[in-house]
Amino acid sequence: MVNTKVNLSGLELSNPIIPASGTFGYGYEFAELYDINILGSFSFKGTTLEPRFGNPTPRIAETPSGMINAVGLQNPGIDKVISEELPKLKKCFNKKVVANISGFCIDEYVECCRKIDKEEQVGIIEVNISCPNVHGGGMALGTSPEMAAAVTKAVKEVTTKPVYMKLTPNVTDIASIAKACEEAGADGISLTNTFLGMRIDLRSKKPVLANKFGGFSGPAILPQALRLVYLVYEAVDIPIIGMGGVSTAEDVIEMMLAGATAVQVGAANLVDPYVCRDIIEALPAVMEKYGIKDLNDIIGGAH
Rounded Cα distance, 235 and 229, in Å: 10
Of the listed 113, 131, 181, 276, which one is catalytic? 131
List of long-range contacts for 199-208, beta carbons under 8 Å, 24+ apart:
199/61, 199/62, 199/63, 199/68, 208/58, 208/61, 208/68
Bridge partners, residue 122, by sequence = 97
131 in active site: yes
Q: Which residues of 153-191 are buried (b: 16+ CB within 10 A; e: fewer)?
A: bbbbeebebbbbbbbbbbbeebbebbbbbbebbbbbbbb
Q: Are 170 and 131 in contact (CB under 8 A)?
A: no
Query: Is the distance from CB of 18 to CB of 42 less than 8 angstroms?
Result: yes
20 vs 6: CA distance, rounded Å: 17
Catalytic positions are: 131
